[in-house]
Every structure is written in structure tokens, then in C-alpha cells.
Amino acid sequence: MEALMQLQIITPDRLMCDESVKMVEMRTAEGEIGVLPGHIPVTVMMAPGVTHITMADGSIRHIAIHDGFVEIQPDKVSIMAEIAEWPEEVDLDRAKAALSRARERITNPGPDTDIARARRAWARAAARIELLTREW
């Protein structure tokens, strides 16, 4: 029998996922990482991006994760995210509009523009667009 681990994705609103999986690939503040059962324990900050989940049956699911952190144990991965969205929950037109607004704020900042906030909005919008438009 192939090794599995438990994946939980938790947001302030709901439990997004609680499944046995083969692998999780995600974007962290340190870069992209892949986690297999038996991984050493570690806790890292998440960065906005698409997380790839190889399910127990071998199928792959994708979910946009927007900030938070992940706790990795040899038999469990727990992602605590500010926001997480499955593809069917994302509105592509809204994400494109948000990306355009963020780009405008970054390239033409006003005196009250919070550049760090605009960059985070850009990263979240880009992750949503990638989730829906990239060929996996």
C-alpha cells in the first residue's frame, strides 16, 4: 500500500479539505516545496499561489492559497490560510479587474497608496488567474 498523509486546509470560515493524500506542492515564503509522507517536521509561511494536491487515487486538485502558514508533520500537513479558493469559487473577470487595479496602484502610486498592500492584492489576483487559466 502506498504511503499517505492527512491534509487539512483551514480558513477562518471553513474546513476546505480534510483528506488522505499522496503529495502536496505549495508556494511558501521560502519558495516552492513538495511534501511527501514521512517529511521532517517544519512550519513555514505560505505565499499567495496555487497549491497542487495529489489525491489518494492519483488525481490532482488545485487550490489557490492566499497567505497563512503550513505545519508539516511526517503523517499530516495542516495549512492555515487567510483565504483558500477552489477553481469553481473564483470569478475570472473579477480577478482580472483586481489585477489591473493593483498594477495601476503599483505603477502610479498616489500619496496615500499602500504599496505593500497593492503588491499582496496583485499576488492574490495572479494566483486566482493562474488557477483558472493554466494548463495543468
Residues above pLDDT 90, as percent of the chain: 93
**Which among 110, 11, 102 has a CA at the least distance from the CA of 64?**
11
The structure's pTM equals 0.91
C-alpha to C-alpha distance for 68 and 74, rounded to whole angstroms: 20
For 121, the 3-state DSSP assignment is helix
Are 27 and 13 a contacting pair, CB within 8 Å? no
Residue 19 pLDDT? 97
Q: Please give the Cα distance from 63 to 78 (Å, whole number).
A: 14
pLDDT for 1 beyond 70? no
Percentage of the chain modeled with pLDDT above 70: 99
Calculate mean pLDDT across residues 80-106: 96
